Amino acid sequence: MSDAQAKVKVHVEKVNKSYGDNHVLRDISLDIAENEVVVMIGPSGSGKSTFLRMLNQLEMPDDGTIVVDGFNISDKSTDINKVRENIGMVFQSFNLFNNYSVLENIMLAPIETGKMDKAAAETKARQLLDTVGLSEKADVSVNSLSGGQKQRIAIARALAMEPDIMLFDEPTSALDPEMVGDVLEVMKNLAESGMTMIIVTHEMGFAKQVADRVVFFESGKIQESGAPKQVFDAPKNERLQEFLSKVMHA
Amino acid sequence: MKKILIFCIAFFAVLVTLVNIPNVSAAKPHYVITTDATYPPFDFQDKNNQYTGIDQEILKTIAKRQGFTYTLKPMSFNSATQSVSSGQADGVIAGMSITDERKEVFDFGTPYYRSGIGWAVKKGSDVKSLKDLKGKTVALKTGTSGADYALSVQKKYGFKVTYFNDSDTLYNDVINGNTQATFGDLPVIQYAVKNGTQLKVMNAKSPIEAGWYGFGVKKGDNAKLLTAFNKGFADIKADGTYDKIVAKYLGSSAATFTGNKKDNSSVLGILKSNDQAFLKGLWQTVLLTVLAIVLASIWGVFLGIMGISQVAGIRALSTTIIYIFRGLPLMVLAFFIYIGLPSVIGMKIPAFIAGLVTLILNEGAYTGAFVRGGFEAVEHGQMEAARSLGLPYGKSMRKVIMPQGLKIMIPSFVNQFIITLKDTSILSAIGILELTQTGTLIVSRNSQGFRVWAIVAAIYLIVITLLTWLSNWVEKRTRA
């Protein structure tokens, strides 16, 4: 847990979401502090991805309040584009823009949102490519990259907007096993640099190592949350115990 | 966006210049007169592609003496009469029989030619009397009194009917044996037989429902034109000009007017003697195609963007427009705009504009459907990624979704361009003198169906080949 004085970056209160009869999120409340790294685990369909996607309004809650960076994004009248500029998002399926080169992918948003001029955006992009270890790929088409490379570019693309929160939606689930390490390495470095991160993942080892807090979702509810040591070594919730016994032996 | 706008304006400017009706001296009244494109000896083209025949010479003489000018619009008989009844044209002279039914819609001038209905079969046919037509098929020309008569006795003699829009195709159908007889105006059939059409007239001496031809204007309108016609007609009747005109056409074979037979015995000869007509027809076809491709593409992309709008009402509007204009047959749409609309909006619509609008609406609907499909085919995640970075919807569309979607659509665009070119031929129905209509007119004059249609087909194939090459070149460049 982060210390009590830390600034609250994300405030979620009594959020509900249904798709037809399927009640995917039930009365979720959660606060996330600045610089905190929160990892969300749970079985498929437990609502953790839906929850993550609400934090930048890719999904709208049916009721409840979500405040990110001081903006109430559960209110439709909030200018979501401005808020999103400060929230980076990394997807399971990368979603790199197929019609641009690697460098252009990273430069597009800073230029188009008016955040940087072209020269500044390029300097930033090359610097980020260096950070993720892919400097030599600047001018290639994104379709020629491997999955692991694509995901590292996607992270660089999100960082180009200089966000202060990063959301990761199962960033390694679509990768071949030998590619996972490179991506997790980049994320680890990011966490160490002090970025506020909210990560949905099935990588338990990574969660243990990097998370400040682990949140267990099941049936649309937060069943247990706490420090990794507590959640993984001394789970209280029965469903969490069951879940851990399955994933640890898999 | 700006470039497209400039493009649009430029095209409209070109359009307006090209279809601008030539200025007419204000002193003389000017009329638009429609006629049947193929109705010898009354209306047909001579070897210089000028309209001639008994009707045309009467009209020309009267106009000169009465001091009015006119623009002649040759088309199918049916369209010719409908253009006048809908107010698109001022008068029609097309070997039109004066009937009670037509008097409801038209005011007729002094009857100018005595006619009647005749029926004919292929030379050597075993059909000897109307009774022999039982179970056979009869070829009729749409909207003619011959057709009306045939229908009135159809039950009695038990034959089937099929319809044609021009006389020449109709005669050939009977000669080829697809149909066994035809009903039509006696002098017209007799003239065709005299000029070598292999038909036999069965009632040469006893025309059925003998009646008169009349010059028609829309009922209640254009009394001035009608008065001028009647005055002029009385004049040419009195001084013998009328008799001279009739004798001139009935007394000589068609070749006198339509040119040397030698010209028609080879493809080269036909091309040579009709090169101006073919070029003009081709130009109209190309002009229609190019304008329609550009404007329909713009309209279609617009419909496609509406089709994926975030607002449900806009999506529904796009779907409805596409549904309507994709569902309407092109020809119905053309008739609706050209013949139907003017009487409602009280404004004439030139055939070229009507045809172009028809193409834009029809081809644009097809384009809209595949543009929407192309945008929808772009992975959903692309939009989410763009939006997540803070790009607004419009920018995400322009920078990420549209470039990818348009790439997917290129083959559909090429396909639609070729369809557009071919669809221009349907507009011959409203009298646009494009390539197909040009072919119809030339065949009606020289009866060389095989050679002329082979030429027309070859021209279409050449243009389509050029269009395909151009499209492939553009496609390669966008891929690079």
Token look-up 């991506």 returns A183
Tell me, what's the pLDDT at B65?
93
Positive or negative, the CA dihedral B49, B52, B57, B62 is: negative
Q: How far is CA B80 from CA A83, B41, B91, B443, in A?
A: 66, 17, 9, 19
Compute the nearest-CA separation of B293 from chain A (Å). Answer: 26
Contacts of A88 in chain B (CB under 8 A): 388
Positive or negative, the CA dihedral B363, B364, B367, B372 is: negative
Highest mean pLDDT among B123-127, B252-256, B386-390: B386-390
Task: Supply the ipTM of this predicted assembly.
Answer: 0.92
Tell how far CA B477 is from the center of its chain. 38
In chain B, the residue whose alpha carbon lies closest to the alpha carbon of A55 is: B388
Compute the nearest-CA separation of A220 from chain B (Å). Answer: 23
Compute the nearest-CA separation of B416 from chain A (Å). Answer: 24
Find which of A71, A79, A112, A113 to mutate to test the B interface (most B CBs within 10 Å of its CB): A112
Query: Measuring CA to CA, which residue among A246, A247, A250, A244 is closest to residue A230?
Result: A244
B381:A99 CB<8 A: no
Q: Which of the two residues, B10 and B77, has the higher pLDDT score?
A: B77
DSSP chain A: ---TTSPEEEEEEEEEEEETTEEEEEEEEEEEETT-EEEEE--TTSSHHHHHHHTTTSS--SEEEEEETTEETTSTTS-HHHHHTTEEEE-TT----TTSBHHHHHHHHHHHTTSS-HHHHHHHHHHHHHHTT-GGGTTSBGGGS-HHHHHHHHHHHHHTT--SEEEEESTTTTS-HHHHHHHHHHHHHHHHTT-EEEEE-S-HHHHHHH-SEEEEEETTEEEEEE-HIIIIIS--SHHHHHHHHHHHH-
B54-69 pLDDT, tens per residue?
999 999 999 999 999 9
**CB within 8 A of B182, min separation 6: which ones?**
B119, B120, B138, B139, B140, B146, B170, B171, B174, B189, B199
Token look-up 């004066």 returns B98
Average pLDDT value over all residues in chain B: 88
Contacts of B387 in chain A (CB under 8 A): 58, 84
Q: How far apart are CA B85 and CA B340, in angstroms?
A: 10
A58:B403 CB<8 A: no
Compute the nearest-CA separation of A97 from chain B (Å). Answer: 6
Query: Measuring CA to CA, which residue among A137, A231, A131 is closest to residue A188?
Result: A131
In chain B, the residue whose alpha carbon lies closest to the alpha carbon of A59 is: B384
B335-387 pLDDT, tens per residue?
999 888 887 888 888 889 999 999 999 999 999 999 999 999 999 999 999 99
Q: How far apart are CA B39 and CA B53, in angstroms?
A: 9
- Three-state SS string over A95-118 comes to CCCCCCEHHHHHHHHHHHCCCCCH
Tell me, what's the pLDDT at A186?
94
Compute the nearest-CA separation of B336 from chain A (Å). Answer: 43
Compute the nearest-CA separation of A194 from chain B (Å). Answer: 21
Token look-up 């008097």 returns B103
Contacts of B382 in chain A (CB under 8 A): 95, 97-98
Q: Does A109 touch chain B (CB under 8 A)?
A: yes
CB-count burial class (<10 Å; 0-12, 13-18, 19+) for B444: buried
State the pLDDT confidence band at B23, using cuts at 50, 70 and 90.
very low
B388:A89 CB<8 A: yes
A84:B379 CB<8 A: no
Contacts of B381 in chain A (CB under 8 A): 91, 93-95
Tell me, what's the pLDDT at A162?
94
A88:B388 CB<8 A: yes
In chain A, the residue whose alpha carbon lies closest to the alpha carbon of B392 is: A81
Instruction: Decide: helix, strand or coil at residue B86.
Output: coil
In angstroms, what is the C-alpha Rg of chain A?
Answer: 18
Token look-up 């609907």 returns B365
Above 70 in pLDDT, residue B15?
no
B388:A98 CB<8 A: no
State the pLDDT confidence band at B26, using cuts at 50, 70 and 90.
low
- Average pLDDT of adjacent 10-residue blocks, chain A of 250 residues: 67 94 93 95 92 94 93 91 94 95 96 94 95 93 93 96 95 90 94 95 92 95 94 93 84
Tell me, what's the pLDDT at B24?
45
Query: Measuring CA to CA, which residue among B205, B199, B204 is closest to residue B177?
Result: B199
Tell me, what's the pLDDT at B13?
58
Tell me, what's the pLDDT at B59?
95
Above 80 in pLDDT, residue B265?
no
Contacts of A157 in chain B (CB under 8 A): 389
Q: Does A50 touch chain B (CB under 8 A)?
A: no
Compute the nearest-CA separation of B9 from chain A (Å). Answer: 29
Tell me, what's the pLDDT at B473?
87
Q: Does A98 touch chain B (CB under 8 A)?
A: yes
Q: Nearest by CB to B390, which of A58, A98, A113?
A: A113
Positive or negative, the CA dihedral A161, A162, A164, A166 is: positive
Q: Does A91 touch chain B (CB under 8 A)?
A: yes
Tell me, what's the pLDDT at A9?
93
Q: How far apart are CA B327 and CA B325, in angstroms?
A: 5
Tell me, what's the pLDDT at B211?
84
Q: Nearest by CB to B390, which of A84, A93, A94?
A: A84
Compute the nearest-CA separation of B454 from chain A (Å). Answer: 46
A109:B379 CB<8 A: no
A161:B399 CB<8 A: no
Are A145 and A153 spatial neighbours (Cβ–Cβ below 8 Å)?
Answer: yes
Contacts of A141 in chain B (CB under 8 A): none
Number of H helices, E strands in chain B: 21, 13
B174-184 pLDDT, tens per residue?
998 899 999 99
Q: Nearest by CB to B388, which of A56, A93, A99?
A: A56
Above 50 in pLDDT, residue B76?
yes
Pair of tokens at residue A77:
């009248």
State the pLDDT confidence band at B5, using cuts at 50, 70 and 90.
low
Tell me, what's the pLDDT at A2?
43
Helix (H) or strand (E) holding B31: strand B30-36
Compute the nearest-CA separation of B389 from chain A (Å). Answer: 6
Q: How far apart are CA A207 and CA A200, in angstroms?
A: 10
Are B56 and B43 spatial neighbours (Cβ–Cβ below 8 Å)?
Answer: yes
Contacts of A109 in chain B (CB under 8 A): 386, 389-391
Q: Nearest by CB to B399, which of A89, A94, A108?
A: A108
**CB within 8 A of A23, min separation 6: which ones?**
A16, A17, A220
Tell me, what's the pLDDT at B262?
58
Contacts of A150 in chain B (CB under 8 A): none
B392:A81 CB<8 A: yes
Contacts of A97 in chain B (CB under 8 A): 382, 385-386, 400
State the pLDDT confidence band at B449, using cuts at 50, 70 and 90.
confident
B388:A58 CB<8 A: yes
A97:B385 CB<8 A: yes
DSSP B304-315: HHHHT-SSHHHH
Are B109 and B228 spatial neighbours (Cβ–Cβ below 8 Å)?
Answer: no
In chain B, the residue whose alpha carbon lies closest to the alpha carbon of A93 is: B381
